[in-house]
Amino acid sequence: MARTKHPVELIVSGKDRATPALRRIGRSVRTLGRSVRNVGRAMVSMRSMAVGAFAVFATTRIVSKINDTADALDRLGKTAKVVGVTAQALAQYRHAAELAGLTTEQLDESFVIFARTLGKMKAGTGGALDTLAKKNMPALRKLLMETSDTGDALDIVFQSLAAVGDDAAQAEFASAAFGRSGARMVNMIKGGYDKLLVSLADAKRLGIAPTDDEV
């Protein structure tokens, strides 16, 4: 098949007309390339910002958690000192109280009241527990008077409380020892004194009762 011959001037003329268009296309391609690179850099920057923001958020959460834990341990230590027991013992009792449906605040308040009541008994200045013990439980009063710390006294009271068979007498005893939350404290020995001991031991086993060195 014969090829059509085009005059040279037409080819040159066509080339001349095409050159500006090609240049415009080239410029557009270069502009597009720069835009793509800019978008790429923006995406990298946004990704870096997102990673940085997440790192700041995660660090803030960790620091907040550490501070919360430190505050909780500080409050535990201070309350234990007021009550007259070790921080670990108080943490164990808190665990047992929670299982019995009491709040930490209710337990702490009850223990502070007991420490004051025990102090009055030993000082001979009376108090609800001293009055009740003199009348109905002289042997218990003697044991409490001989204790050297609040921890031992609490153990004696919980054992004695569990041994009281009458519900009304149990509630009266608990109220005399622990104040207004005394009736709730009875829940800690529902099922017997041995069940309370299991709850106390579980707090250690689960690692939720820090040692005094950790407080």
Looking at residue 71, its pLDDT comes to 82
The stretches in the chain having pLDDT less than 70 are: 1-69, 215
pLDDT for residue 12: 42
pLDDT at position 140, please?
96
Cβ neighbours for 157, distance < 8 A, ≥ 6 positions apart: 114, 140, 144, 177
Query: Which pLDDT score, from 0 to 100, does residue 142 have?
Result: 96
pLDDT of residue 15: 45
> How many Å separate Cα 40 from the centre of its chain?
43
Domain ranges of the chain: 84-210
Q: What is the 3-state secondary structure (H, E, C) of the chain?
A: CCCCCCCHHHHHHHHHHHHHHHHHHHHHHHHHHHHHHHHHHHHHHHHHHHHHHHHHHHHHHHHHHHHHHHHHHHHHHHHHHHHCCCHHHHHHHHHHHHHCCCCHHHHHHHHHHHHHHHHHHHHCCCCHHHHHHHHHCHHHHHHHHHCCCHHHHHHHHHHHHHHCCCHHHHHHHHHHHHHHHHHHHHHHHCCCHHHHHHHHHHHHHCCCCCCHHHC
The tokens describing 137, both together, are: 């439980």
Residue 9 pLDDT: 47
Closest Cα to residue 215, out of 82, 62, 72?
Answer: 72
Q: What is the pLDDT of residue 109?
A: 97
pLDDT score recorded for residue 6: 46
Question: What is the per-residue pLDDT across 179-196, written as a single tens digit (0 to 9) for each?
Answer: 998 999 999 999 999 999
Residue located via tokens 């104040």: 179
Q: Check residue 147 and give its pLDDT.
A: 96
The structure's pTM equals 0.67
Question: What are 73-103's pLDDT values in tens digits?
Answer: 899 999 999 999 999 999 999 999 999 999 9
Residue 96: per-residue pLDDT: 97
